[in-house]
């Protein structure tokens, strides 16, 4: 099953050649995808040779294949994790029944919508990041950006495949629409909030790959539990790629923190701007922004949608098998609801709190990364600590969308929030400063921008100063 036929125009391990109709449909979608990639993919680097990892099969060997490729020649393909024999639905009202290999009619619309929402984020992130190459801190980082971009492109393929293979004509229309919406566009924006935020500097990029790609990890974990087996198998394979995106975010911020700590010592001051570094309070503001917009991606704290996804066996909890009760019909979840100027605890039926359960797992995972960053500060003898703001801070979706709080989560007035906004979120001045550090890209293999320290290792045994991206012949 996991053999990949690579001389096909669409590499795949789903025996695409046996389904001529589907193959034809996807071959018609492929040039549209490439058109989108050329228009909205990384700006100015389409003809460069990039040292990329390409999945040529789903087993470990094929997975670790590295070579120079021009991005438009990347072998975007369709890879599903192997089916698990005898797999049954692991949660909800259909607990224990065999998984579905076809879409159950009564769940068709809901499943399509989940797949479209997931699929929409993938090209959106490529669009958000398309200008970053022009301000890269090193060739190592430039290559990592492009690795992520092509893989998000492949994630789009994963969802387009499900739409084409299981949703007939409306699936094909949705797959086209995935190429038609544009991040940040006033008339046809991407579906979810965070994917319309500009991500035009590298501090934002590392925060995005740490916080927003991590939403991806948890949403994919929840979808990997799905009773719709093709969705489960697709998302399980996507998760293997996702790990690298979060690695880039986590180590990217670690490297900035390390450099800032060095400059703080050198300058004997917290203010490293005179030395061209990114000061910790500025990092905290970017963290506050990307964490809060990423928290929104989990949906409302109380959600009847989430309850039906769970009841119907469409979307579970991350690592469902670590829970003891897979029906979740009993028990409640305590949520602090804003009411008349204070927070009042309300016990919500567990199924209605599934978004919050997933968000809990996410918050914990984020905290682990922040602890690592703080460890760098601690061992440098610096007292400052980065921290996750309250999950009530700066929210636009859910229970806390219409209130204002400080980063500790205390209710404040709109005026008080507006007055202090620039202390908590990147101000125009902060953004200009961060961008000013990145005005010129660094393309010399042995150079690294001043505001970030070099990584501990290069890629696939190559040195850090390897020429990971080189100008093509043309
Ligand atoms: N922005 O019942 P509720 C990734 C809507 S990231 C705008 O609370 P539900 C990646 C919601 O649609 C992972 N609208 O929400 C990362 C609903 O609309 P309707 C992406 C939002 O349905 C980096 C209404 O508000 N995958 O892969 O429980 C780079 C009421 O909401 C937002 C998925 O999201 C928002 N933030 O949950 C590349 C998985 N949040 O029905 C890639 C699939 C909610 O009233 N999606 N709304 O019109 C889902 O599971 C769910 O749709 C959500 C929303 C968790 C997103
Ligand atoms: Fe993705
Ligand atoms: Fe990702």
Query: Looking at residue 134, which CATH number applies to its domain?
Result: 1.10.620.20
Q: Is residue 84 part of a domain?
A: yes
- Among candidates 222, 197, 427, which has minimal Cα distance to 292? 197
Q: Quote the number of domains for the chain.
A: 1
Q: Is residue 5 part of a domain?
A: no
Dump pLDDT digits (tens) for 205-250.
Answer: 999 999 999 999 999 999 999 999 999 999 999 999 999 999 999 9
Give the mean pLDDT of 424-435.
98
Compute the distance from residue 416 Cα to the ligand 3 centre, in Å.
36
Residue 124, domain extent: 16-470
Compute the distance from residue 191 Cα to the ligand 1 centre, in Å.
8
| pLDDT, position 474 | 55
- Among candidates 375, 222, 381, 394, which has minimal Cα distance to 291? 394
Q: Is residue 229 part of a domain?
A: yes
- Using the structure block, give the residue that is written with the tokens 């500790």: 408
- Among candidates 242, 228, 235, which has minimal Cα distance to 112? 228
Residue 2, pLDDT above cutoff 70? no
Evaluate: CB of 292 within 6 angstroms of ligand 1.
no
Q: Is residue 9 part of a domain?
A: no
Give the mean pLDDT of 113-122.
98
Residues 6+ apart with CB under 8 A from 450: 259, 275, 276, 277, 437
C-alpha distances in angstroms, 316 versus 213, 228, 252?
A: 19, 11, 31
Residue 470: in which H helix or E strand, if any? strand 469-470
Residue 26, pLDDT above cutoff 90? yes
pLDDT band at 65 (very low <50, low <70, confident <90, very high): confident
Q: Is residue 45 part of a domain?
A: yes
pLDDT band at 267 (very low <50, low <70, confident <90, very high): confident
Question: What is the Cα–Cα distance from 110 to 311, expressed in whole angstroms?
Answer: 12
Residues 6+ apart with CB under 8 A from 78: 10, 11, 12, 13, 14, 16, 26, 157, 158, 161
Residue 60, pLDDT above cutoff 70? no
Residue 453: in which H helix or E strand, if any? none
pLDDT band at 3 (very low <50, low <70, confident <90, very high): low
Q: Identify the residue whose C-alpha is closest to ligand 1 atom 22.
A: 305
pLDDT band at 55 (very low <50, low <70, confident <90, very high): confident
Dump pLDDT digits (tens) for 140-180.
Answer: 999 999 999 999 999 999 999 999 999 999 999 999 999 99
Token pair for 186: 């006033």
| pLDDT, position 59 | 67
Strands lying side by side in the sheet with 65-70: 65-70, 49-54, 469-470
Q: Is residue 6 part of a domain?
A: no
Residue 61, pLDDT above cutoff 70? no
- Could you say which ligand is closest to the alpha carbon of residue 234? 2
Q: Is residue 404 part of a domain?
A: yes
Question: What is the Cα–Cα distance from 393 to 424, expressed in whole angstroms?
Answer: 10
Give the mean pLDDT of 195-208.
98
Contact 288, 393 (CB under 8 A): yes
- Could you say which ligand is closest to the alpha carbon of residue 195? 1
Residue 1, pLDDT above cutoff 60? no
Q: Is residue 3 part of a domain?
A: no
Compute the distance from residue 152 Cα to the ligand 3 centre, in Å.
6
Dump pLDDT digits (tens) for 304-313.
Answer: 999 999 999 9
Ligand 1 atom at minimal distance to the Cα of residue 115: 43
- Using the structure block, give the residue that is written with the tokens 């690298």: 244
Residue 387, pLDDT above cutoff 80? yes
Count CB neighbours of 425 within 10 A: 19
- Residue in 109, 125, 299 to alter for ligand 1 test, most ligand atoms within 8 A of Cβ: 299
Q: Identify the residue whose C-alpha is closest to ligand 1 atom 36.
A: 297
| pLDDT, position 414 | 98
| pLDDT, position 118 | 98
Compute the distance from residue 151 Cα to the ligand 3 centre, in Å.
7
Evaluate: CB of 296 within 6 angstroms of ligand 1.
yes
Question: What is the Cα–Cα distance from 51 to 355, expressed in whole angstroms?
Answer: 38
């Amino acid at each position: 099953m996991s053999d990949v036929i690579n001389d096909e125009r669409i590499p795949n391990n789903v025996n695409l050649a046996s389904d001529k109709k589907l193959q034809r449909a996807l071959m018609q979608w492929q040039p549209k995808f490439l058109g989108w990639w050329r228009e909205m993919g990384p700006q100015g680097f389409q003809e460069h040779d990039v040292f990329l990892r390409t999945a040529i099969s789903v087993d470990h060997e094929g997975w670790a294949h590295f070579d120079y490729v021009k991005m438009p020649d990347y072998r975007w393909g369709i890879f599903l994790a192997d089916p698990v024999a005898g797999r049954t639905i692991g949660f909800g009202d259909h607990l224990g029944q065999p998984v579905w290999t076809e879409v159950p009619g009564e769940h068709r619309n809901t499943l399509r919508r989940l797949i479209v929402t997931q699929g929409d984020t993938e090209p959106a992130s490529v669009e958000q990041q398309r200008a970053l190459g022009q301000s890269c801190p090193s060739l190592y980082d430039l290559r990592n950006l492009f690795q992520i971009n092509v893989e998000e492109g492949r994630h789009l393929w994963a969802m387009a495949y499900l739409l084409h293979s299981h949703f007939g004509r409306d699936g094909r229309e949705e797959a086209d629409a995935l190429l038609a919406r544009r991040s940040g566009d006033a008339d046809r924006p991407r579906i979810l909030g965070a994917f319309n935020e500009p991500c035009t500097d590298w501090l934002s990029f590392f925060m995005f790959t740490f916080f927003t790609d991590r939403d991806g990890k948890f949403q994919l974990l929840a979808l990997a539990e799905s009773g719709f087996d093709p969705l489960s198998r697709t998302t399980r394979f996507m998760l293997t790629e996702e790990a690298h995106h979060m690695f880039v975010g986590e180590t990217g911020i670690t490297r900035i923190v390390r450099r800032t700590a060095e400059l703080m010592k050198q300058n004997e001051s917290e203010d490293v701007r005179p030395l061209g570094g990114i000061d910790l309070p500025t990092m905290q503001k970017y963290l506050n922004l990307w964490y809060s917009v990423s928290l929104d991606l989990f949906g409302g704290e109380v959600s009847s949608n989430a309850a039906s996804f769970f009841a119907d066996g469409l979307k579970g909890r991350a690592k469902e098998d670590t829970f003891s009760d897979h029906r979740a019909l009993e028990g409640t979840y305590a949520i602090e609801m804003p009411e008349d100027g204070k927070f009042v605890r309300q016990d919500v039926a567990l199924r209605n709190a599934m978004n919050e359960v997933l968000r809990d797992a996410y918050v914990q995972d984020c905290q682990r990364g922040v602890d690592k960053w703080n460890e760098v500060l601690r061992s440098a003898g610096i007292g400052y600590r980065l921290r996750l703001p309250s999950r009530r801070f700066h929210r636009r979706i859910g229970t806390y969308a219409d209130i204002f709080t400080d980063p500790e989560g205390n209710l404040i007035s709109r005026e008080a929030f507006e007055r202090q906004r620039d202390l908590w979120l990147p101000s125009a001045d902060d953004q200009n400063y961060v961008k000013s550090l990145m005005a010129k890209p660094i393309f010399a293999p042995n150079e690294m921008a001043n505001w970030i320290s070099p990584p501990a290792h290069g890629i696939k045994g190559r040195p850090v100063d390897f020429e990971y991206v080189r100008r093509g012949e043309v």
